[in-house]
Structure 1
């Protein structure tokens, strides 16, 4: 019986492969072909249509990597095909083993409008549904020679190194009869065979399908497949008509095409990928009014409006008809670990507003299937943006622990909960195959409590999205025994049904940490620094431009700030900010950050000059000034005239005592708040908090210790850092020079491998911290550079700053969940402490950290905090991090969480001194040291209203008074989009008293006299 089954299955597979599929386009005639190769970068469609084409044919080589070739295809429908369905079949030499990551194309009419995309699994183009015969064919095909960028050291990731070799050969260009009965038969057979293979050998249903297929193929005339297709389908119909059981799992299938906004291709190519995919799905919508397709990333919609208005107008029409569905509510599918709080909020502001303004749609689903872990700040921001649901898929990639739910309530830092779904199909590029359907049923974690899941289906990243074959599968799986019930529907319908079915879903509290891709916190450090710098420059630009507008009438740069924010948000996409893209993307990103920094500096400078006055007195105004470090969190946006000399100054002296640790002497730095000892190796052997006399550095374990590790993960070079790297470490203790830097700092120079590190160690006057200004000329490969600070603390957990607060993580490895967090993300600070004493490590551009704990021989505990400074993976960018990097970090002894918050801000928003003599009063002041004002700006609607966003930063309830330094007629609490919140705080002008729960974010809108009332 077993041999009989195997032989029947092999026969079925052979007939499907050799007879049925080839017969779908059985009758064919060649099309005429001409070709033109665009020089360099892609050209406008209008220019290409006027290009000097030359004759070409099948076998023609085309496409050096990243090149564009245009094909002009001509012909006519044969008269004998009258009444038949006719399609062009165009195979540009696609890679047959993958749906994307190959050549791609977009077909145009002679007037330049887009028709449909061409992809490896989608090579057809409908010419006539019922041909009359003689119809002319005149098509232009824009073909992109996108390479598959793979392999360590590949030159294909940069246009300048990719080389001139052609990658593709034109394989097939024909007009063909589309034999619909045969195509339908192929779909019947594929669905039944896939279902059959997923059923157990002991299941009668499997045998019924097998025997039905065997009998149906006995009806097939191998010499007349087309003529016998209807009879074969009739024989199969009973097997396809058996309904699913009443308890069958229910699947909401949503068409989707996950298109990374940049990854193994540059941004410019993503614009074209979106146009191709959108054109494909629009074609499917015309043929199937029940087809629903969801597309996230407002940026990608905006690209269509700007670059492909013909596609955009078709999209808008289908949005109105309910088929083309905006989802996500964000500007891009961003990383959520590393963007700052304001940036993550603005992802929702700009994404939701685009969909509202351009399409009249209030998106409610936050759609982030592929980001590399999810911040605990997200639930609050989701709700404050007016959204209700959250979807992710990536957690299925975790290496060590299986996430316990597929539908659950996700509770964020502040206690906000959002209803969340994690599709058990374990892919966001589903094809609705039998294997996927069977897997999702087996995998669904909430059996017995819930019975519904969502499946995003369609080829992404240049694969063209859903196909007509996928829609045929969905139709056959709507009610079929042995399969879950599949219904193609709007994602909002899924969430509403899932919520109604499972309102008492379990709760997951805190971040959704992804147990892989931890290297993305560090890769391409220079670009990460560009992101951090851009965020803080935007904060300053809004603050001082708003202050100057209110105080002096200085013009507020609405359009410039809007454009710059959108550029920064684009570059926070989950393969750009994590730096898991090709060299081309990183090069353009660096150029963009430099350009934006120059623009923002000009905006800041103009506003501050307007505020500072004419400066005739020769004085200075200090912007971003902060009070004494023990006086609490500084009022954000303070400005004051130049202060007198500080009461404390840094003293540098030789340290004979350090000879006990090294052959020669070191130095002591003392500013009255901190006393730091640098030994002859340039290491910190003592950091004392003067106020308490407490030593910070663990005995026998110096701080500021640079360490090297080998860095060759099992896979995904730029993405991953494997735990095994810790087993091999090289401490960098040898120095080239150690010498005073002026009269208040020490300069240390080290060389190792082919690299060089220069550090200036100093204690800023009046600041309770040790600054380490570090320059690394980095030329290593597959190496991880960290800097360690062993602290004399027994810290049971670390507090890592995240958006609008911090996240606690255990320092032990009691459970596999804790052990998996061996590399963690933090923003401006990471804090560790024990009752009565804490230490913060603050930085200006670093995200990767790790924290470990050891017991010393004296019985004390050493808690070691390390910053991850640089990596050198070779894929997908073989030159990752090569070159000069300057980064600053600082050790803050005796710090509580408010100190850590303040010092993190101070390191990232330094003082600015502008000639002038005006006293510039801040627009707003908060009187609570645990409350931070994260944004001061004018309202986005150009009404002139002032918008202030603040948050509780230290995890405690806070009663705060907000003093308003301008005449306001009313204050209204709003959502992130600056819309009034029902039941929110509303008051007339004057101070505003608020009570904030831990980590609560509040946005206030102040109306000015004469402004538009909101």
Structure 2
């Protein structure tokens, strides 16, 4: 029996490969092909259709890197084929290595009407079923010669192909066959029968009766095939398989909800402009498939991608809108893009949902209750609250299955965030978001599912992404055979919402996971491409300022509110938070354009802010000056969100020379800097407490080798810590005004730091400029602190998350690099230290017990500054970078929050004649932070204020609008719609509202303007 089974499997493989599959197209005739290559960037469709062409034949190289070629394809259906099904097979030069990541095409009729996309495993175009014979075929193919960055066979190696300016012009592809062909549907179905049964047979127990039923049936079917006349005997072979294909699944079979899908990264190994075309090709494919397959359901996320095809391919978009209205094409996820969720700030994460959900509502009348993030690199603990506030309740992701240390214990569970909000969450046990309906995938999903016995359902996103063209007709055919097949999980096409509703109904009380969903992989994405990350952070805070001051100017001075500009700028920033842009894991082209885009965004936002401040400050003709403070906390007598007459700007403590170093002392903090430019003491004078661990030094730059086992831009492996160099050599150390200037050189790089101590604050400011020219190195900035802390706090969306400093378990050990926003904070009871920053996200915290002296504990915080990976951008981070950090000894958690805002929201000084400008909105509780002040998106003129409790304690705050008559405040969701079940906040007179908040709770208030 064993030998018979092996013989059948080997026989099946060869007969399929060499005889049956080739017989799908038993007769062919070549098409005439001509080509025109656009000289630069892609051209409009009308230009491509009318461009002059020249003949080209199969076997001819074509397509420079990132180029666009237009093929004109013509021919005549032979009269002898009348009554048969005919299609064209258009092979642009596809390679079998992968279903995407190479050349692609979109087929048009001569009038510019799109037909469908062409991809490596989806290269057919139907001519007729049946044909009459003599039909004229005339198509145009817009073909993209995007380079295969792994074409050398070794994946993810350094390449110059990642930017058009360095890619050269060598042809990337060799044109394959472009033919008309008879399509034999019986043979095609036989192939699918045999593939499904062969794959199922391979997964069943070797000694099981069902496996042997299939072995025998497949053997009989192969006997029935005449290898010299496959087309004539295919039906006889299918007849031999009918019985085993009809055997129904057992009642307890695992149930898989297949969702047609094509995960398309909004940028990655291609630029943004190419994603526009990838989406158009794929959606053209999928709308065509929906017309052919009545059971098929397709889901696409990312409102940005819909907006692109609406703008650039309206003909394709019209087909999408019709399919959406028919309920077959499902807008999924409700976000602007599938963003990173670790690094986006509070408001940015909220606006991902605001702009995504509003687009789907406005365009399709669809409101999503599911969040669709299959490929995002871990999930911040503040996200559940944002999901709930957006009106959603379910989350899907798959990426956590990539973790390398610990296996996540659930596939379906409840996820609880920092404020107590809970979201029903599913990780597809199929362990891919590009399921192809292969028997191995289906069997793995059933075996792998961790909720056996209490739940029966999982989801399988099905289709090739990233240029693979989506779901294929073969996948649909396989799913039909697996709908009710003995030995297999039962597969049904369903929309995501249908799956989640059924899964939640059958499993109403799943286990709860509390806190972040940390991906034990891709940790270096918190550091790679530092200028992209700096651009994001700066843009987020400029948007906050622009909304605050534009709102204040509109209410107080009647200035026009820039609705359209702010909407467009928010969407630009949200796009660049996509999970391969902000994380720094895209090609050079993407990050080059990102830097340019962030500069334009900053310039435009600075203009909006300046115009608003001029409107508030007066005509600016006098010598008087106002200082505007955007921070949500008052400081130095300046009200948050208001302005007063300017006093001295930024006084700092004087620098004193002492021995070979310097001392800074402002009466609150005394800082000693030794002859190496390192901070050897940061003494809290009021507390009588030293911050720096005995015998150690802070502000210490440390350089490590950085060559991960794979995924250069994505990963940092823990063994990087085994070797490191402390950068203690100084090329220049001197006083420069009220700062100490430290200059160092190492490798091919140079660092200049300015250390200063404000006259009225207990913090040390450290401004660092690095001219970085290293390769495969990792630069850290270390602060060894004399603090015994078992855990520390990192800012995340609308609060902070605690992580352990120890490594008691493998789960804790795996978090050797983690994310923070504007600060990290650690403390002992009654005394703590904060490290704030203006643009860094990655960090690590370690602890050790000193063996001599006081046997105290040293807890070291290290900010991650720069990396130098070589793939996908071989020049990652080369050049000049600027960072600002602030060490705040004696800081409580509220001080850490305040210092984080201070580092990111500078005061603005504006010449003007106006009196002091009172804040538009005031909050009487320091722990309650305002994250947005804006006018309502519906242009009613109502004021919208978003705020949250920042300390992790219960809070009660009075929110008061000043300077206009306000109606009674309403609590709303993120889309500024009243919350029916929330009631109204307590009124406190004059339009004020009293808000009671649980720890880390975020609320949105809408204040009607009378």
* Equivalent in the alignment of 1:533: 538
Deviates more, 1:961-970 or 1:455-464: 961-970
Q: Contact 1:625–1:640 at 8 Å: present in 2 too?
A: no
1:551 aligns with 2:556: yes
Cα shift at 1:4:
2.7
Secondary structure class of the residue paired with 1:166: coil
Per the TM alignment, residue 629 of structure 1 is displaced from its structure 2 partner at its CA by 8.8
SS for the counterpart of 1:252 is strand
Aligned to 2:865: 869
Pairing 1:971–2:969 present: yes
2:376 is aligned to 371
Give the corresponding residue for 2:242. 237
Aligned to 1:813: 807
Offset of residue 5 of structure 1? 2.3
Q: 1:14 to 1:649 in 2, by over 3 A?
A: closer
Distance 2:93 2:621 in 1: 72
**2:647 pairs with 1:643:** yes
Equivalent-residue separation in structure 1 for 2:668 and 2:507 (angstroms): 56
Matched, 1:697 2:684: no
Equivalent residues in 2 for 1:637-676, closer than 5 Å:
637-643=641-647, 650-656=653-659, 665-676=660-671
Select which of 361, 366, 379 maps to 2:366: 361
For 2:443 and 2:747, locate their aligned partners in 1 and report how far apart those are by CA, in whole Å.
Answer: 53
Are 2:968 and 2:993, in contact at CA under 8 Å, matched by a contact in 1?
no
Match of 2:776 in 1: 782
Partner of 1:96: 96
Which 5+ residue runs of structure 2 have no aligned equivalent? 151-155
Contact 2:780 2:865 (8 Å CA) reproduced: yes
Q: How far is 1:991 from its partner?
A: 1.6
Match of 2:296 in 1: 291
The CA distance in 2 between the partners of 1:927 and 1:655, in whole Å, is 44
| TM-superposition CA deviations, 1:237-263 (whole Å, max 9, x none) | 001011111110011000000000000
Q: State TM-score, norm by structure 2.
A: 0.98
Matches within 5 A, 1:745-784: 745-784=739-778
CA contact (8 A) 2:707 2:776 kept: yes
Give the secondary structure class of the aligned counterpart of 1:15: helix
- 1:926 aligned partner: 923
1:41 equivalenced with 2:41 (yes/no): yes
- State which of 331, 336, 359 in structure 2 corresponds to 1:331: 336
Q: Shift of the alpha carbon at 1:651?
A: 2.3
3-state SS of the aligned residue for 2:179?
strand
> Are the equivalent residues in 2 in contact too, given 1:628–1:767 (CA < 8 A)?
no
User: Aligned residue for 2:153?
Assistant: none
Partners of 1:981 and 1:639 lie apart in 2 by 34
1:892 aligned residue: 888
**3-state SS, counterpart of residue 698 of structure 2:** coil
Offset at residue 673 of structure 1 (A):
2.1
Structure 1 equivalent of residue 1008 of structure 2: 1007
In the superposition, relative to structure 1, how do residues 196 and 209 fare at CA in structure 2: closer, same or farther (>3 Å)? same
- Secondary structure class of the residue paired with 2:740: strand
1:906 aligned residue (902, 911, 915): 902
Q: How does 1:945-956 map to 2 (within 5 A)?
A: 945-956=942-953
Change beyond 3 A, Cα 1:644–1:59: closer
- Note the C-alpha offset of 1:625: 6.5
Verify the 8 A CA contact 1:580 1:876 in the aligned structure 2.
yes
Give me the whole-angstrom Cα distance separating, in 1, the residues matched to 2:975 and 2:602: 25
Check conservation: 2:632, 2:640, Cα contact below 8 A.
no
Q: CA deviation at 1:71?
A: 0.6
- Do 2:632 and 2:931's aligned partners in 1 also have CA atoms closer than 8 Å? no
Shift in CA distance, 233/649, structure 1 to aligned 2, threshold 3 Å: closer
Superposition pairs of residues 175-254 of structure 1, within 5 angstroms: 175-254=180-259
* CA distance, structure 2, for counterparts of residue 985 and residue 505 of structure 1: 29
CA deviation after TM superposition for structure 1 residue 452, in Å: 0.7
Q: Distance in 1 between matches of 2:310 and 2:583?
A: 28
Q: Displacement of 1:104 after TM fit?
A: 0.4
Give the conservation status (yes or no) of the 8 Å contact 2:729–2:744.
Answer: yes
Tell me the alpha carbon deviations over residues 207-262 of structure 1, each in whole angstroms, 9 at most, x when there is no partner. 11011111111111212111111111111100101111111001100000000000
Decide whether the 8 Å contact of 2:417 with 2:516 is kept in 1. Answer: yes
Q: Following TM superposition, by how much is the alpha carbon of 1:431 offset from its aligned partner in structure 2, in angstroms? A: 0.5
2:76 is equivalent to residue 76 of structure 1:
yes
Contact 1:623 1:638 survives alignment (8 Å): yes
Q: 1:419-434 residue pairs with structure 2 within 5 A?
A: 419-434=424-439
TM-aligned CA deviation for residue 765 of structure 1:
2.3
2:639–2:918 contact (8 Å) kept in structure 1:
no
Deviation of 1:618 after TM superposition, in Å, equals 1.3
Q: How far has the Cα of 1:637 moved from its partner?
A: 1.6
Q: In the TM superposition, what are the counterparts of 1:103-142 in structure 2 within 5 Å?
A: 103-142=103-142
Q: Counterpart of 2:391 in 1: which secondary structure?
A: coil
Query: Following the alignment from structure 1 to structure 2, what is the Cα–Cα distance between the partners of residues 907 and 673?
Result: 19
The 3-state SS of whatever aligns with 2:190 is helix
Partner residue, 1:739: 734
1:452 to 454, 457, 468: 457
Instruction: Deviation per CA, 1:882-932: give whole Å up to 9, x if none.
Output: 000011111001001100000100110001000013211111111111110
Task: Provide the C-alpha distance between the structure 1 equivalents of 2:796 and 2:311, rounded to a whole number of angstroms.
Answer: 34
Partner of 1:794: 788
Separation of aligned partners in 2, 1:555 and 1:756:
47
Number of the residue aligned with 1:437 = 442
Counterparts of 1:369-518 in structure 2, within 5 Å, are 369-518=374-523
- Is residue 370–residue 396 contact of structure 2 (8 Å, CA) maintained in 1? yes
Q: CA deviation at 1:449?
A: 1.1
Call closer, same or farther: CA 1:552–1:16 in 2, change over 3 Å.
Answer: same
Give the aligned partner of residue 629 of structure 2.
624
Tell me the alpha carbon deviations over residues 724-744 of structure 1, each in whole angstroms, 9 at most, x when there is no partner. 0011110001100100011x2
> What residue number does 1:941 align with?
938
Q: Distance in 2 between matches of 1:267 and 1:546?
A: 32
Distance in 2 between the 1:617 and 1:275 partners? Answer: 56
Measured on the aligned residues, the alpha-carbon RMSD in Å equals 1.4
Query: Structure 1 stretch 34-43 or stretch 621-630: which is displaced more?
Result: 621-630
Partner of residue 309, structure 2: 304
Q: Is the 8 A contact 1:95 1:103 kept in 2?
A: no
Deviation sequence 1:103-127 (CA, Å, 0-9, x none): 1000000011210001000110001
Count of matched residue positions in the alignment of Structure 1 and Structure 2: 998
CA distance in 1, matches of 2:892, 2:841: 20
**Helix, strand or coil at the partner of 1:785:** strand
Say which SS state the counterpart of residue 194 (structure 1) adopts: helix
8 Å contact kept, 1:100–1:460: yes
Query: For residues 676 and 985 of structure 1, what CA distance do their matches in structure 2 show?
Result: 52
Please tell me whether the aligned partners of residues 367 and 390 of structure 1 are also in contact (alpha carbons under 8 angstroms). Answer: yes
Gaps of 5+ in 1: 657-664, 1010-1014
The correspondence of residues 691-730 of structure 1 with structure 2, limited to 5 A, is 691-730=686-725
How big is the shift at 1:823? 0.3
Pick which of 303-312 and 623-632 moved more: 623-632
